[in-house]
Amino acid sequence: MEMHTDVLLVTANVGSLFDNVGEIEGDWLREFFMTVHMHKPRFVALHFQEVGGKDYMVNMGHADNFFWTIESSSEMDDFDRVCVYVDSNFRAVDSFTALGSMYFIHKSLKNIQQYDFNVKEFKAVSGHNKYMGSLEGVTTIEKEKFPKNFWPDFKWSRKGYMRTRWLIHNQGLDLVNVHLFHDASNLIACNSSPSVYSANRKKALRYVINRISDSSYSPLPFFLFGDFNFRLDTRSLVQVLLHIETKLFAYLHQAVFRENNGKELLKYDKEISAFHDVITEEEIHFPPSYPYSEDYTKPTQYMNTRCPAWCDRILMSHSARDIIHRREEGESGVVYNTLGSNVCMGDHKPVFLFFPMKTITH
């Protein structure tokens, strides 16, 4: 018999939240809790990138508090099982990714298990399981920083992916937290179409997809959500823009990125098209998720450092799309949107996908 389990996936680059400790956090949490309250999911997955911010050596101590605040909040009381994985050991330069993943299981969700990659089997989840610091030897995740030799010409940074695997009412799925490379210079990004940065991201994303689809563990439907750093095809776009320097992107019409949710610009969002053979996405009806002003009083304004783009995404395998239950007309169904569209959330607006997942009961 087919049933549905309501699932909420959220991805958030929290770098600027940690760099402005205190200011943004209250609103950020309120927006997240409000979304949970509104949609009433039974399973929540939160994927964070840039935990600790740019100044992570100073701010990493705050990460413990941030995750604890979410975990222990009264708003999440009904989730009686929690799994937290935060790769915060910045001293391990070769493996540090600054990724954090949190999973919440509602008390009403009885039939759920998590995969142990070491013994290659699913196991029951109970209580609160928290892993911070080094994640070496944690067998319920698979984590990798991108290999150094990938990008000989670029500064090697804390980018990579982290995967967990779940069995919810006999439906298996992989949830993968991803952080890909950014555009270091607007000018270089303009040189070619697609840009050299775009080519780097493409290589990295293909690498992740190959890793999670190889035969080490039998492949399952997967959701990839994180900061893909996808950018608009700047060279094509720049004909309608004004003034560009290495770290300045001043444009004629700030409004063009928000009116009609930036719909006019989606045609320049081309990076995912190379992957249509393996991944798909719900339709985007929200403005670019980055780079918003970090000024508390300007929550809907973009900074002029970079061309606004849909960096934060929730992508899925075609098999994952098949397990999304499309409700009848009039019923609340799938929602793909940003969190906190009118509140300062930092330079990235978190992006969420809420959907009823088809599950199987025997």
All structural domains of the chain with their residue ranges: 2-360
Query: What pLDDT score does 256 carry?
Result: 66
- Is pLDDT of 185 > 60? yes
| Cis peptide preceding 221, ω within 30 of 0 | no
Query: What pLDDT score does 331 carry?
Result: 59
Q: How many whole angstroms from its chain centre is CA 327?
A: 25
Q: SS3 of 151, please?
A: coil
Least confident of 35-44, 54-63, 334-343: 54-63
- Is pLDDT of 26 > 70? yes
pLDDT tens digits for range 218-251 = 999 999 999 998 988 877 776 675 555 566 665 5
Q: How far apart are CA 8 and CA 34, in angstroms?
A: 12
- Is pLDDT of 352 > 80? yes
As a whole number, mean pLDDT of residues 140-160 equals 82
The helix or strand, by DSSP H or E, that contains position 187, with its residue range, turns out to be helix 186-191
Query: What pLDDT score does 125 carry?
Result: 97
**Radius of gyration from C-alpha coordinates of the chain:** 20
* Beta pairing class for 100-106 and 112-116: unpaired
pLDDT tens digits for range 33-50 = 999 999 999 999 999 999
Residue carrying the six token digits 């400790």 = 21
* Torsion region of 136: left, alpha or beta (phi above 0 gives left; psi -120 to 50 gives alpha): beta
Query: What pLDDT score does 348 carry?
Result: 95
Query: What pLDDT score does 3 carry?
Result: 83
Q: Place 152 in a pLDDT band, splitting at 50, 70 and 90.
A: low
- Please give the CATH architecture assigned to the domain spanning 2-360: 4-Layer Sandwich (3.60)
Residue 108 main-chain phi, psi, to 5 deg: -80, -10
* β-bridge partners, 343: none
Work out the end-to-end distance of the chain between its first and last CA atoms, rounded to an integer number of angstroms.
7
Burial class (CB in 10 A: 0-12, 13-18, 19+), 208: buried
Average pLDDT, the chain: 89
Q: How far apart are CA 139 and CA 117, in angstroms?
A: 6
CA geometry: angle 339, 235, 295, nearest 5 deg: 35
Beta strand residue intervals within 169-221, DSSP E? 171-179
Least confident of 70-79, 174-183, 257-266, 346-355: 257-266
As a whole number, mean pLDDT of residues 50-60 equals 91
As a whole number, mean pLDDT of residues 277-295 equals 93
As a whole number, mean pLDDT of residues 200-214 equals 92
As a whole number, mean pLDDT of residues 70-96 equals 95
pLDDT tens digits for range 287-327 = 999 999 988 889 999 888 888 899 999 999 999 999 999 87
